[in-house]
Structure formats: C-alpha cells, structure tokens
Homo-oligomer: A and B are copies of this chain.
Amino acid sequence: MTPTLGIGLIGYAFMGAAHSQAWRTAPHFFDLPLRPDLAVLAGRDRTRLTAAADRLGWRETETDWRRLLERDDVDLVDVCTPGNTHAEIAIAALEAGKHVLCEKPLANSVAEAEAMAEAAAKAAARGVRSMVGFTYRRVPAIGLARQLVAEGRLGEIRHVRAQYLQDWIADPAAPMSWRLEKEKAGSGALGDIGAHIVDLTQYITGQSLTGVSAMLETFVTERPLPASAGSLSGVGGEGTGTVSVDDAAVFLGRFTGGALGTFEATRFALGRKNAIRIEVNGSAGSLSFDFEDMNVLQFFDGSEPAREAGFRRIVVTEPEHPYVAAWWPAGHGLGYEHGFTHQVVDLVTAIGEGTDPAPSFADGLQVQRVLDAVERSAAANSAFTEI
C-alpha cells in the first residue's frame, strides 16, 4: 500500500486551481512513491474558501494558514499566494518540518529569497524538501531542449533569445489588480513572467546569467479600480489606482559560457496571449520553442549536410520524450496544466527517494538576483549590472 502525503494548499485562485488539478491527477498516470492526499485548503475568506474546497476537491479548510503547520495530516505546504507572503509562509512551514512547494517568483526581494534559501538549506539537512514552482520546466518540449543541450547537440551556446509575451492589460481600460501593485507583486511583467524566461533559459542552457543591461517601462500608469475593489489594499469605491510595477521589461544579458541573451517580458504584446518564445543558437545546433505551440520543439542539427538541413518540427508526444509515456499515444498533445502534474511527480518522487528536488529555493534565489539586477540596471541608465 502506497503511503500518503498530506497536502495543505494555501490559495485557491488561478494557481490554486492548477495545483489542485495536479495533485489530483498525478497518481492516476504516474507511479508515485507517495499518494497525495488533498487534505486541507487554506484561505482567508471562509465563504469563498468553502466553495473552492468543494470545487477543487479538498477535504477540509483552514482560514489561518498557520494551522496547516500544526496539523498532522499535512506533510507538505503548497504556497500559491501573492509573492509578498511567500517568505513568511515558506520559512515557517519548513521550520515546522513541512515540505514546501512555493510558487514563483520565490519572493519579492533578494533579502527575502536569501532567507528562504537559507531556511531551505537547513530544512534539507533534516530531510525536509523544498521546491520553487517554475512549472514550465516540465513542458516536455522544454525537457527535450535541455537534454539536447546537455548532450552537446548545440555545441557552444552563442545566442539565447527569450520573450514572454502577453496582452491582458494592453487595453488601458483593463482594471487594477494585485498583480499591478508593487507591494504585493514585487514587480510587474518582470517577476510574473520575466522570471519564467530567466529560469527557462538558464535551465535549458545549464548556464547562469552573469549580468544584465535593462529597461523597464510602465505604459499605463493609472487604471480603473475593479468593480469589486476589495482585493486592493486600502483602496475602495470608484476611481483609478496607480500601477506601481512595470508593464514591460527588456534586457540584454551575458551567460557564464559567453552567450549573449536578449529578454523581453511584456503584457502589452497585443495578440500574444501566453507566448513564451525561446531560441538558442549554438555552434553545432539551434533550438526554437513557442508555448503557443507547446507540444513542439524546433531543432536545427548543424551536422546535417546543407542540402537537407533545416529546423525539425519535433512533435514532442513520443514515449521517448520527458513525461510523455505516462499519457497518450503519439500525437495526442498535452496542455498547459500537465506541467503542474509533472511538477508534482518530480516533487513527490524526490520526497519519496529522499533527495532534493529542483528547482531549489537556491535556484529561485538566483533568479531573484537576476530580477534585482534588472531593476538596478534599469535604474542606472541601463548600465551593465553584475549578478
């Protein structure tokens, strides 16, 4: 009989729903050493919390997340709250001996992330595991990209170009949300989506950014308050709120291996809904990925004769591809939420095997340092800023 792993999830919005589906689904497709038990959902608003627990499939609820740390049926705390609360919750959970899965970005500041990484290191020494939720690593095409680079199929990496393009606030009439408040979100497009492409490019290349030159921009600084403004700190009624984060972040970077990077994260790319586009050019091959066609990886193998060389459109749905064998026959593509299921699989496997899962809080800290360097460079006339 597979032992259970009691899960306590904090937050039930977009990320909470995605994580719930993952915890629920993983054991039906993958062999896990521990069977996740959707034990407790935590949130502040009792009414909405109860409805969410029913909808998302959680057995019990708590309106104070601290209660999770005291419960014996909770072995792992899954943090799906805004970034300004990550440090407090995650550190407390680790100290209470609970494994932690924390959504990205790890924190809203380097200082917080450092404290979290430190807490994670201490906890790891006690066998308590932690992971930060850079879910897109678990898209099979991304996993394949990493494999190809690691196997040397791209040779020496020359160029990395990465864009995360959305358009959900391109309309100036789009209302305020906590994601547009610096106090809660830490930053705007930079931390919300820029963090993903920083992590992904480092993950795929196996290299780190060593410095950046950056610009940030807020195109629309005042926005209407949402119909129900309750979610905005200290703001209510009609009128407008001030956007205190970046709408877009663009930056150049250097990787440890000498590659040049160009990065762009924006919520103003009209017509692009969730386009994570990554290209890597090496001395022996190239890769191209676009999340709008998420089951595909384009690969150029420079060893092919010129007459027949070309970017191969690899449909990443073969049993040979990461995670895929557990799902459907070839050609039956996966969707967005499968990445979360794979994340759960990797995390539970690591816990079961007593190893430290990746990406670790230290990895999350490193991304945080990149984001911080971006902000410092932007504030310093775009001067190259080391990480």
* Contact indicator A28/B20 (Cβ below 8 Å): yes
Interface size in chain A (residues, C-beta < 8 A):
95
Choose, from A124-132, A222-230, A291-299, the stretch at the interface.
A291-299
Are B313 and A310 touching (Cβ within 8 A)? Answer: yes
Which of A264, A271, A306, A320 has most B Cβ within 10 Å?
A: A271
Inter-chain contacts of A57 with B (CB < 8 A): 28
| Chain B residues in 8 Å Cβ range of A123 | none
- A311: Cβ under 8 A from any B Cβ: yes
User: What residues of B have a CB within 8 angstroms of the CB of A279 in the complex?
Assistant: 269
Copies in the complex: 4
Q: Could you mark each residue 205-219 of chain A with 1 if its beta carbon is under 8 Å from any beta carbon of chain B, else 0?
A: 000000001110101
- A161 lies within 8 A of chain B by Cβ: yes
Bitwise interface map of A from 224 to 267 toward B, beta carbon under 8 Å scored 1, else 0: 00000000000000000000000010111010001010101010
* Distance in Å: Cβ of A42 to nearest Cβ of chain B: 18
Is B318 a contact partner of A310 (Cβ separation < 8 A)?
no
* Beta-carbon contacts under 8 Å, A34-56 to B: 55-56
9 examples of A-B residue contacts, CB within 8 angstroms: A148-B308, A215-B252, A219-B258, A270-B283, A270-B300, A298-B310, A299-B310, A301-B308, A333-B336
Contact of A321 among B159, B165, B307 (CB under 8 A): B307
Contact B271 A309 (CB under 8 A): yes
Which of A20, A301, A333, A383 has its CB near the most chain B CB atoms (within 10 A)? Answer: A333
Give Cα A329–Cα B252 distance, bound, in whole angstroms. Answer: 29
**Quick one: closest B residue to A167, CB to CB?**
B281
Which one of B159, B252, B302, B312 contacts A310 once the chains associate, using CB atoms below 8 Å?
B312
Q: Is the CB of B55 within 8 A of A28?
A: yes
Which among A254, A298, A300 has the greatest number of chain B C-beta atoms within 10 A? Answer: A300
Residues B302 and A271 in contact, CB atoms below 8 Å apart: yes
Pick from B161, B251, B299, B334: contact of A252, CB under 8 Å = B251
Assuming the A-B contacts A14-B329, A252-B251, A314-B310, are A266 and B302 also in contact, with contact meaning beta carbons closer than 8 angstroms in the complex?
no
